[in-house]
Structure 1
């Protein structure tokens, strides 16, 4: 039992770390291109996991979901600091910076799906050759597809501080954006409640399954 959990944790750790780290790096990179160097100055535009790991979002929550055999894995890294006041395009650029994370996860899901299908179809090596590498890699790419899609869909939910909330704040009229911003202090609690009660599945599951079918089958 413990051995299986450790093996699963290792297989899940690589795609999870890539997904959450590149998500945050994308935010910082686009922010830098649009005029805000805060993430660069704080050493957050890096692939070094130590700079991004959040104890709850990157370690504890994924382990709990893994042990409880949740149908979906979810997590996050430490948010990259962005000073929206530095952005050249104001609220429009805030929307672009926020969109960069989910779109990076979509790209990772696409790349992972291509690798998965190449292994599945025997295009990388003949059956039996390199199985010691290809079998775990196939498993990790499948996990990567599903996890990146879950991360993308959840982050696009229109609830601040999720990216979807910030995207809306960037495109809505100022009066409506201000009202949405006032929800931000409760946003993470709302998301955790949606996950804890299973209500998030009614939104996330159909979208993720649709993409999974398109990408993998």
Structure 2
């Protein structure tokens, strides 16, 4: 048990909650990409069976393992052929953006449900019982994880959604120049997520930001509905 505690990035006792939250967050994120790509005329993801809320279709084993032991990870990326879009740049931006936006929405919905349970007295604010403690832990994990994934995926480095958004927002001439350095950008991304020294100034602040955002959103709902 001590070995697992040292190996995992998250507390061992919270592992089931993280796995459930990841299953929902990653599935909805990738489904959103696939759904809108298909909606805009690109059937690539649909033909591969990716327009689904079945978690098994979207999970990447290595990505999940790394997230659990290193604090970052990924699901199976949804293949998109922008040439099938009637407006490639505009629709590519939307398809890329809906992933992080889906996590933002999940975090907000999670905070709303948590606030309603808290205000209505369904769960004990102190969390004395094991059920109350489990609910408190799950919603805290679920909300913070989704806000983190939203912020993390907006980093403008490949292969993240933020890069695809910037790539299509910039004028074609500048975008083409950036694409020449894409392989180096991927290297920078890998260094950021692998080296503890760089994680301290990149990944760690995102977790802090996600935590602050979750507290602020939850307080807003408690204030609104708590009278």
TM interval, shorter chain, is 0.7 to 0.9
TM-score by length of 1: 0.84
Give yes or no for contact 2:67–2:74 (8 Å, CA) kept in 1: no
Change (3 A) 1:114 1:167: same
* Corresponding residue for residue 87 of structure 1: 85
Partners in 2 of 1:188 and 1:140 — Cα distance?
A: 33
Instruction: Spell out the pairing of 1:16-35 with structure 2 (5 A cutoff).
Output: 16-35=22-41
CA positional deviation for 1:136: 1.7
Matches within 5 A, 1:1-217: 1=1, 7-58=13-64, 60-65=65-70, 73-124=71-122, 131-195=129-193, 196=195, 197-198=198-199, 199-201=201-203, 204-205=206-207, 207-217=209-219
How far off is 1:128 after superposition?
9.8
Return the alpha-carbon distance in structure 1 between the equivalents of residues 126 and 211 of structure 2: 30
| TM-score when normalising by structure 2 | 0.81
Q: 1:53 to 1:165 in 2, by over 3 A?
A: same
Tell me how far 1:138 sits from its aligned partner: 2.5
Question: Any idea what SS the aligned residue of 1:121 has?
Answer: helix
| Contiguous gaps of at least 5 residues in structure 1 | 66-72
Shift of 1:36: 0.6
Unaligned runs of 5+ in 2: 6-10, 220-227
RMSD across aligned positions (CA)? 2.6
Cα drift, residue 202 of structure 1 = 6.7
User: Given that residues 34 and 88 in structure 1 are in contact (C-alpha distance below 8 angstroms), is that contact kept between their aligned partners in structure 2?
Assistant: yes
CA 1:216–1:125 in 2, change beyond 3 Å: closer, same or farther? closer
Shift of 1:28: 0.5
Shift in alpha-carbon separation, 1:45–1:132, aligned structure 2, 3 A: farther
Equivalent residues of 1:120, 1:138 under 8 A apart: no
